[in-house]
Chains A and B, each alone.
Chain A
């Protein structure tokens, strides 16, 4: 195994990450009756809305303080306050996230102060909570933005009497994954507070009349109760402690923290269920055991095909970690693991896995697709797993892409992709195995011909080529 941070260049060629405020929007979309306003110029919020809308196929209303030249020179306070007025008027949200951009941070906007002042000036009481999160785009990727926003949300928790629920804090998963986690928690008879929960808000059913703010999401009152929970389960092995909401709840309120990987694969899901059973005292029900058995069956059925896979996996560190572990369990050994974020935790997390199987794998952090492509080719990767921007690997190098994570903007159904739990893992694996098979079937005739055919039949044409 080797670690590599490639950034000796002075430019980024084909980015593998987005910026911080974009990541900050997502958790807020998973809070009941909430809205976000981006403090900065109009363009940033429009871009982010488009990106999120393409993935989820949902209307993504995000306001902007629409800073103009004047605001940039003399301070954007007025714009932000006016923006908040208008946002409240149009949407009547219960929670508002105020996220900053590069521009607002560069001109030195103190959003905490502005928000505080705004509350006083407008006499805003309990009816609406405003949460300011400083997210300069240059300060980190969307991964850090996501977790920072979550941590700021967790700070709403108060000192409340102890209760029997547990906190479950999740990374940027698909709505289908979130629903699966809720189903498992239900089967395990766990009472929980899930943060965030955009399983309904970003994948809402068609219904009439149209609601400006979709129903669903974590209730504010539940967030406030997080300080009294029995425990926190946080799927955030790669999250920096300074950004960790679970750590915050532990330090502030003494809620014990169990930091675990995303429940994917046999080991990942076992860990999750084992933990739930220890906390609750209930064993996993028969239904889940059967699902586990089915996953094993699926793994055995596909193991020979999968063992031919050499994967390049990229995206947000938390998901890369979980997908890599799942791939390793199945012999789809990774040759490159890459993320646009800065993290050492990913390689540390996977080290034991790699050592156990003697896998040579390159870690790329703060990287771009130019480097990923170069290294994937060097490592002879034959399957790519990650978000849509990896299509570049298919187009340039013919490495087929299994779409996973965020954003998926060139295919439909990113919000419906199920990959967690035993059942979800089986679906995730099938997508990979089938991609490997498709590649194999579309190539083997011509490749055998090229390798072995030495005959002199006059009408011999490579099979697979049109005759």
Chain B
């Protein structure tokens, strides 16, 4: 693929040239995984945000943010992650550091805060998130947590998520490091032939973990632990007892999957439950890994039944959506790839696609998948999103909350593919939901009126 600078001219920032390309005939690398350009309104979040997103669904833990109040305030119960029981994860705890703490250090306050919270809520696990200034004032989180752990006989873990040491991906990694410390080595070898798998990278925003668990069960496979949607401290500890890991959101969890393989010899499969095609393919992949005729047969039965049901409804939508053009700007590369396929299932072309923190391999895949002329971009800013959406004539943008008003002001339909949605987008039912949402935003009568004036 080739960068076509003449086409992308009119970019506000010269420095951003290498992060954007238009697919053409010759291959070329897109630059990514770099620091954001100062002053250009990046849509990226911080390390703490990444770590919090991954760990927050642990429902029975105390999530304590060590830092000034703002960092905690902006993340109070913002994700729709669902729980089958405990609700502790929905509270926002902060050490609320003030000027004096910044000068004299926050360790003592942190230790006391942990003591008080443990006394009040009796959790088995306390996660202590570090924020930017904690990294600077030099509080020894590790030591404070270790001491607290000994004092109370429970697990108190630091999450090294100081915001300035990288972006959201670094936060995913910090979260995985904390998770690794929770997981216990398996007691002896598990019974051979166990059909237990761990599900990595689903945060159960709207019941997705439960949907996938149901599918697996129908196939005769048990879900051991899900990382981390609707998870609890005790179950997480048993993760090493699984025979296979399946990884959904690779961006956040591939590191953990690799570590689990290295430490406990658990292999992993990359899967995706977004869209009919991916869901069916993933279920087959899992079945064939077990090499068990019964599982395969049940999987096929499930796929056939569900695909038929969903397929009928999808073709209704496809008729109405065919030929529309979509722009995609999401957090990670994994989601972006799935979206290209999902839009294809609906007859929609992706004309612009980008991510906040996609990796090199993911961008390669993306570039191969999209049609010629599609703009691919990393760490975009609002000016670029605006420019390419308009230039490419996108009818629809997929993004997060910050992008929504921009799309609407441009008179473009919008899909929230982020943390705030309240309906599942996974599995067969999710594929239909997705189509339904696309339809509800693209085919709303309001767009009829945006072109004209009073007279």
Contact of B41 among A12, A61, A103 (CB under 8 A): A61
CB B109 to nearest CB in A, in angstroms, measures 5
Which A-chain residue is minimally distant from B449 (CB atoms)? A206
Bound form: Cα–Cα A138–B406 in Å: 31
CB A405 to nearest CB in B, in angstroms, measures 15
In addition to A47-B45, A49-B402, 18 A-B residue pairs with Cβ atoms within 8 Å of each other are: A9-B113, A11-B94, A12-B93, A15-B73, A15-B76, A42-B36, A43-B44, A43-B132, A50-B400, A58-B409, A59-B406, A60-B405, A64-B39, A86-B38, A87-B40, A103-B136, A138-B69, A212-B383
Write the B57-98 contact mask toward A (1 if CB under 8 angstroms, else 0): 000000010011111111111000000000000011111111
Write the A87-99 contact mask toward B (1 if CB under 8 angstroms, else 0): 1011000000000
The reply to whether the CB of B312 lies closer than 8 angstroms to some CB of chain A is: no
Bound form: Cα–Cα A61–B406 in Å: 10
Q: Is the CB of B95 within 8 A of A80?
A: no
Which A-chain residue is minimally distant from B171 (CB atoms)? A43
Bound form: Cα–Cα A18–B49 in Å: 16
Write the B292-330 contact mask toward A (1 if CB under 8 angstroms, else 0): 000000000000000000000000000000000000000
Residues in A5-58 with C-beta less than 8 Å from chain B: 9-15, 17-22, 37, 40-44, 46-51, 53-54, 56-58
Note all chain B residues with C-beta closer than 8 A to A61. 41, 382
Bound form: Cα–Cα A138–B29 in Å: 43
Q: Is the CB of B116 within 8 A of A54?
A: no
Q: A47-B45, A53-B401, A59-B406 are in contact. Are A10 and B95 (CB under 8 A)?
A: yes
The reply to whether the CB of A456 lies closer than 8 angstroms to some CB of chain B is: no
Write the B114-136 contact mask toward A (1 if CB under 8 angstroms, else 0): 00110000000000000111011
A/B interface sample: 28 pairs, CB < 8 A: A10-B116, A11-B117, A18-B70, A21-B70, A37-B39, A41-B164, A43-B132, A43-B163, A44-B132, A44-B163, A46-B43, A46-B49, A47-B71, A57-B405, A64-B36, A64-B42, A69-B164, A71-B164, A82-B38, A82-B39, A83-B39, A84-B39, A90-B12, A90-B381, A106-B136, A137-B68, A138-B101, A210-B386
Contact of A18 among B44, B73, B109, B402 (CB under 8 A): B73
CB A302 to nearest CB in B, in angstroms, measures 33
Write the B393-407 contact mask toward A (1 if CB under 8 angstroms, else 0): 000000011101110
Bound form: Cα–Cα A47–B76 in Å: 12
Q: Is the CB of B38 within 8 A of A83?
A: yes
Q: A136-B99, A210-B386 are in contact. Are A19 and B69 (CB under 8 A)?
A: yes
The reply to whether the CB of B48 lies closer than 8 angstroms to some CB of chain A is: yes
CB B106 to nearest CB in A, in angstroms, measures 10
Note all chain A residues with C-beta closer than 8 A to B408. 57, 206
The reply to whether the CB of A1 lies closer than 8 angstroms to some CB of chain B is: no
The number of chain A residues with a CB under 8 A from chain B is 71
Q: Is the CB of B76 within 8 A of A19?
A: no
Q: Is the CB of A59 within 8 A of B49?
A: no
Q: Is the CB of A13 within 8 A of B383?
A: no
Q: Is the CB of A40 within 8 A of B132?
A: yes
Bound form: Cα–Cα A340–B92 in Å: 15
CB B120 to nearest CB in A, in angstroms, measures 9
Contact of A11 among B40, B95, B137, B167 (CB under 8 A): B95
Write the B1-42 contact mask toward A (1 if CB under 8 angstroms, else 0): 000000000001100000000000000000000011111111
Which A-chain residue is minimally distant from B403 (CB atoms)? A59
The reply to whether the CB of B455 lies closer than 8 angstroms to some CB of chain A is: no
Q: Is the CB of A67 within 8 A of B164?
A: yes
Contact of A86 among B37, B72, B401, B406 (CB under 8 A): B37
Note all chain B residues with C-beta closer than 8 A to A82. 37-39
Contact of B91 among A13, A79, A137 (CB under 8 A): A13
Which A-chain residue is minimally distant from B120 (CB atoms)? A13
The reply to whether the CB of A221 lies closer than 8 angstroms to some CB of chain B is: no
Note all chain A residues with C-beta closer than 8 A to B75. 47
Note all chain A residues with C-beta closer than 8 A to B99. 136, 138-139
Interface centre among B68, B99, B112, B408 (most CB of A within 10 A): B68
Bound form: Cα–Cα A50–B409 in Å: 16
Bound form: Cα–Cα A67–B366 in Å: 30
Q: Is the CB of A65 within 8 A of B38?
A: yes
Q: Is the CB of B73 within 8 A of A19?
A: yes
The reply to whether the CB of A164 lies closer than 8 angstroms to some CB of chain B is: no
Bound form: Cα–Cα A279–B93 in Å: 49
Bound form: Cα–Cα A319–B9 in Å: 48
Which B-chain residue is minimally distant from A52 (CB atoms)? B402
CB A227 to nearest CB in B, in angstroms, measures 32
Residues in A274-324 with C-beta less than 8 Å from chain B: none
Note all chain B residues with C-beta closer than 8 A to A15. 69, 72-73, 76, 92, 94, 96
Q: Is the CB of A13 within 8 A of B38?
A: no
Q: Is the CB of B409 within 8 A of A206?
A: yes
Q: Is the CB of B12 within 8 A of A41?
A: no
Q: Is the CB of A206 within 8 A of B411?
A: yes
